[in-house]
Structure 1
Amino acid sequence: MENQPNTRSMIFTLYGDYIRHYGNVIWIGSLIRFLQEFGHNEQSVRAAVSRMSKQGWIQSEKKGNKSYYSLTDQGRKRMAEAAQRIYKLEAPSWDEKWRLLIYSIPEEKRSLRDELRKELVWSGFGLLANSCWITPNPLEEQVETLIEKYEISPYVHFFCADYRGMGEPKTLIEKCWDLDEINEKYLAFIQKYSQKYVIDKNKIEKGEMSDGACFVERTLLVHEYRKFLFIDPGLPQELLPEKWLGDSAAHLFADYYRTLAEPARRFFESVFAEGNSLVKKDKEYNFLDHPFMSESQS
Structure 2
Amino acid sequence: MKPRSLMFTLFGDFIRYYGGEIWIGSLIRMMSEFGISESSVRGATLRMVQQDLLKVRRVGNKSYYSLTDKGKRRIEDGVRRVYSVNNHKWDGYWRILTYSVPEEKRDLRNQIRKELLWTGFGLMSNGTWVSPNPLEEQIMEMVRTYDLYDYTMLFSSASVISHDNQYIIEKGWNLHEIQSEYQTFIETYKPKYEQLKDRVWDNTLTDVEAFVERIYLVHIYRKFLFKDPGFPMDFLPSAWNGNVARDLFWHIHQLISTQAVRYFESVFEHAPDIHLSASRERAINPFAEVYL
Same-fold call, TM > 0.5? Answer: yes
Measure how far apart 1:48 and its partner are.
Answer: 0.9
Q: Could you tell me how far apart the structure 1 residues matched to 2:183 and 2:275 are?
A: 40
Is 2:78 the partner of 1:82? yes
What residue is the counterpart of 1:282 in the other structure?
Answer: 277
Match among 48, 52, 56 for residue 52 of structure 1? 48
- Counterpart CA distance in 2 for 1:104 and 1:62 is 42
Whole-angstrom distance in 2 between the partners of 1:281 and 1:250: 32
Aligned CA-pair RMSD: 1.9
Which residue number corresponds to residue 206 of structure 1?
202
1:21–1:281 Cα contact (<8 Å) kept: no
Query: Are 1:131 and 2:127 counterparts?
Result: yes
For residue 107 of structure 1, report the CA deviation from its aligned partner. Answer: 1.7
Contact 1:89 1:251 in 2 (8 A): no
Q: Where does residue 249 of structure 1 map in the other structure?
A: 245
Q: What is the TM-score normalised by the length of structure 1? A: 0.92
| Counterpart in the other structure of 2:61 | 65
Matched residue type, 1:32: I
Counting matched residue pairs gives 290
- Structure 2: gaps (5+ residues): none
CA apart distance, 1:159: 0.3
CA contact 1:91–1:234 (8 Å) conserved in 2: no
CA shift digits 1:120-172 (9 cap, x unpaired) = 11111111111001011111111111111211201111101112335431221
Alignment partners' CA distance in 2, 1:129 and 1:192: 36
Structure 1: how far apart are the matches of 2:47 and 2:240? 37
- How far is 1:39 from its partner? 0.5
Are residues 1:232 and 2:266 paired?
no
Query: Residue type of the partner of 2:277?
Result: D
Deviations 1:10-40 (A, max 9, x none): 0100000000111000000100000000100
- CA, structure 1 residues 146+29, in 2 after alignment: closer, same or farther (shift >3 Å)? same
Determine the structure 1 residue equivalent to 2:28: 32
Per the TM alignment, residue 230 of structure 1 is displaced from its structure 2 partner at its CA by 1.1
Residues 99 and 138 in structure 1, CA contact (< 8 A), matched pair in contact too: yes
In structure 1, how many angstroms separate the alpha carbons of the residues matched to 2:152 and 2:201? Answer: 55
Give the whole-Å Cα distance in 2 for the aligned partners of 1:270 and 1:110: 45
Q: State the one-letter code of the partner of 1:179.
A: L
Counterpart secondary structure, 2:130? strand
Q: Greater relative contact order (Cα 8 A, min sep 6): structure 1 or 2?
A: 2
Q: 1:59 to 1:19 in 2, by over 3 A?
A: same
Unpaired runs of at least 5, structure 1: none
Percent of residue pairs bearing the same amino acid type: 44
Call closer, same or farther: CA 1:116–1:288 in 2, change over 3 Å: closer
Q: Which amino acid aligns with 1:230?
A: F
Q: Give 1:103-114 correspondences, 5 Å limit.
A: 103-114=99-110
The TM-score normalised by the length of structure 2 is 0.94
What residue is the counterpart of 1:118 in the other structure?
114
Amino acid at match of 2:217: L
Alignment partner of 1:153 is 2:152: no
Task: Tell me how far apart the structure 1 counterparts of residues 256 and 80 of structure 2 sit (CA, whole Å).
Answer: 20
For residues 269 and 159 of structure 1, the distance between their equivalents in structure 2, rounded to whole angstroms, comes to 46
Distance 2:49 2:115 in 1: 18
Which residue number in structure 1 is paired with residue 167 of structure 2?
A: 171
